[in-house]
């Protein structure tokens, strides 16, 4: 591909951030030829995310690189993911949350991988390194998209490299994973709608090797500094003195260019110490969502189609989820077993998830240090103690949902998807902090650790998986397996000898999609098994499929 003026790929991906690289990996594992173009000369420019959450880590486990990220972390494996609220680093403690975001490495029955506090630039490097090992994936840096035009047969794009060389790329599909200022979205003429620019913030990366030993609040990943002078938050990015800091909700009229970053950090922390500024990055919080997620053979993913405040650690992780959903559907379509309605389900499934998460992020954004400050919060004696006690209670009441949000991270479901078969049962309740595993169609398949120490997820196939929860039901599974084979749909039958599965899944059979969501469940394989297969693969027969529900 490198030496030709005209290049070809099944999928052209614009953007080599976490979303674009995740999409390339999802496609590459399925043998789909894809070209990733990135206008920067490397990964890791101005990354703000620091949390790879439980669900994203489970995708890394599927790709075989979860441990690669663990080893790449610049923080020790046992570094506590605590959240500390204090007036300043040299000030009074207010509240504390332990094991925020579920980063503790101990095994949990609810999920196969704990979350990881790791800078986004490290995640991007792990994803890049893995993507470049896949034979069907090519990643080109210092290369930007100039134009794109589509026809019924494909997309023709023009890319330009750092030496101003122009090349035509012919692909079946194009995906814009090129961030908030998406070139692909602009080329399609798609608008972002919602609430823009509702707070201005100032992010600083700095080095201060002595800082961790200069306060008494203990190790944490976040220190929220609640004071009337500089409401802010900060935390370590490695164990060698690299820190992030950002002042939240700058006052109107404050020009970030006029701010002395060193002085700002000293005022916020209450400490005087040597520090070196690495980068400064003013940014604005938005709640925006694209009016459409694509057009024809061109799609948008990640920040290119949804933007929200970063509080809760959802943004990058939600984009990785987009890449997985779109990735397996593109692969199925290109391989011929995905039906004509399959790709249409991408926006149908992901938009409600985005709306829910965006609302949650905005809710978290509504209560920052700026809103928690009270008169007397830094006063000595009984008056200050009383104020700090009240503020601590307010923090615990308002902020727990931000740091303990497993119901959002794992509890989302594809409720109205055209490729999910409803079974007439009541869905699990929608909660923020509590995750209730459920095999209700559309939900994430409930996780279980098996007797041999493996995760149930480790046994799912790359295509669909038919989980048989009762050993004596295995023979009946052949009807659905044969129907899948006739449609060319990859399907793996698994029947672990685990008595807890029948109760957990509330059915003898569960059909699990490539992204580990339940597409159908039932106690009997339906007589017209091909109608079921057509439904879940986005086939034309989907609308008329009659599927048996559990009894």
Nearest of 376, 404, 399 to residue 389 by alpha carbon: 376
Q: Which domains does the chain have, with CATH numbers?
A: 6-69+119-193+289-359 (3.50.50.60), 413-544 (3.40.30.120)
The least confident of 234-238, 471-475, 526-530 is: 471-475
H helices present in 404-476, as ranges: 406-409
Please say whether the beta carbons of 141 and 80 come within 8 A.
no
- What is the arithmetic mean of pLDDT over 19-46? 94
Q: For residue 527, give the 3-state DSSP assignment.
A: coil
Tens digit of each residue's pLDDT (9 = 90 or more) over 154-179? 999 999 999 999 999 999 999 999 99
Cα separation of the two ends of the chain: 55
The count of other CB atoms within 10 Å of the CB of residue 153 is 9
Both tokens assigned to 404:
């303990």
pLDDT category of residue 5 using cuts at 50, 70 and 90: low
Query: Residues, the chain, total?
Result: 551
Both tokens assigned to 330:
């593109």
Both tokens assigned to 508:
């003898």
pLDDT category of residue 47 using cuts at 50, 70 and 90: low
**Whole-angstrom Cα distance, residue 534 to residue 332?**
13
pTM recorded for the entire structure: 0.95
pLDDT category of residue 251 using cuts at 50, 70 and 90: confident
Tens digit of each residue's pLDDT (9 = 90 or more) over 113-137? 999 999 999 999 999 999 999 999 9
Where does residue 546 rank: exposed (0-12), middle (13-18), buried (19+ CB within 10 A)? Answer: exposed
Percent of the chain with pLDDT over 90: 89
């Amino acid at each position: 591909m490198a030496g030709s003026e005209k290049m070809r790929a099944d999928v052209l991906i614009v953007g080599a951030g976490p979303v674009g690289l995740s999409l390339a990996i999802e496609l590459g594992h399925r043998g789909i030829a894809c070209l990733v173009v990135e206008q920067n000369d490397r990964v890791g420019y101005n990354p703000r995310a620091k949390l790879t959450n439980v669900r994203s880590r489970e995708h890394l486990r599927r790709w075989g690189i979860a441990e690669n990220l663990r080893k790449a972390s610049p923080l020790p494996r046992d570094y506590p993911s605590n959240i500390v609220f204090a007036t300043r680093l040299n000030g009074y403690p207010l509240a504390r949350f332990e094991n925020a975001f579920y980063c503790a490495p101990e095994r949990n029955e609810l999920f196969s991988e704990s979350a990881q506090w790791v800078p986004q630039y490290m995640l991007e490097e792990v994803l890049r390194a893995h993507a470049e090992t896949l034979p069907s994936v090519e990643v080109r840096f210092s290369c930007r998209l100039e134009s794109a035009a589509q026809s019924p047969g494909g997309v023709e794009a023009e890319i330009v490299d750092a030496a101003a060389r122009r090349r035509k790329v012919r692909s079946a599909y194009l995906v814009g994973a090129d961030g908030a200022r998406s070139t692909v979205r602009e080329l399609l003429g798609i608008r972002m709608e919602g609430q823009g620019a509702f707070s201005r913030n100032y992010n600083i990366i700095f080095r201060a090797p002595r800082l961790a030993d200069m306060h008494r609040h203990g190790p944490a990943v976040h220190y929220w500094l609640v004071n009337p002078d500089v409401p802010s938050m900060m935390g370590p990015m490695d164990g060698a003195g690299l820190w992030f800091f950002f002042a939240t909700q700058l006052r109107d009229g404050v020009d970030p260019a006029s701010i002395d970053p060193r002085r700002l950090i000293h005022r916020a922390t209450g400490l005087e110490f040597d520090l070196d500024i690495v980068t400064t990055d003013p940014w604005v919080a938005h709640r925006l969502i694209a009016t459409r997620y694509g057009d024809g053979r061109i799609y948008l993913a990640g920040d290119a189609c949804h933007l929200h405040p970063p509080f809760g650690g959802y943004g990058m992780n939600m984009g990785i989820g987009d890449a997985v959903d779109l990735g397996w559907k593109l692969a199925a379509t290109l391989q011929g077993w995905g039906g004509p309605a399959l790709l249409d389900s991408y926006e149908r499934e992901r938009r409600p998830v985005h709306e829910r998460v965006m609302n949650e992020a905005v809710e978290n954004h509504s209560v920052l240090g700026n809103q928690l400050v009270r008169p007397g919060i830094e006063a000595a004696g009984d008056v200050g103690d009383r104020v700090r006690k009240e503020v601590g209670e307010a923090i615990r009441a308002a902020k727990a949902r931000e740091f303990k949000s497993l119901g959002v991270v794992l509890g989302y479901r594809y409720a109205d998807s055209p490729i999910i078969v409803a079974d007439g049962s009541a869905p699990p309740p929608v909660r923020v902090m509590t995750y209730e595993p459920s095999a209700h169609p559309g939900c994430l398949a409930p996780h279980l650790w098996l007797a041999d120490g493996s995760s149930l997820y480790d046994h799912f196939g790359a295509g669909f998986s038919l989980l048989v929860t009762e050993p004596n039901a295995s023979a009946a599974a052949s009807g659905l397996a044969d129907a899948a084979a006739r449609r060319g749909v990859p399907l793996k039958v698994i029947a672990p000898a685990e008595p807890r599965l029948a109760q957990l899944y509330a059915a003898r059979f569960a059909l699990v999609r490539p992204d580990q969501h339940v597409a159908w469940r039932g106690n009997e394989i339906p007589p017209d098994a091909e109608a079921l297969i057509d439904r879940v693969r986005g086939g034309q027969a989907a609308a008329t499929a009659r599927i048996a529900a559990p009894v």
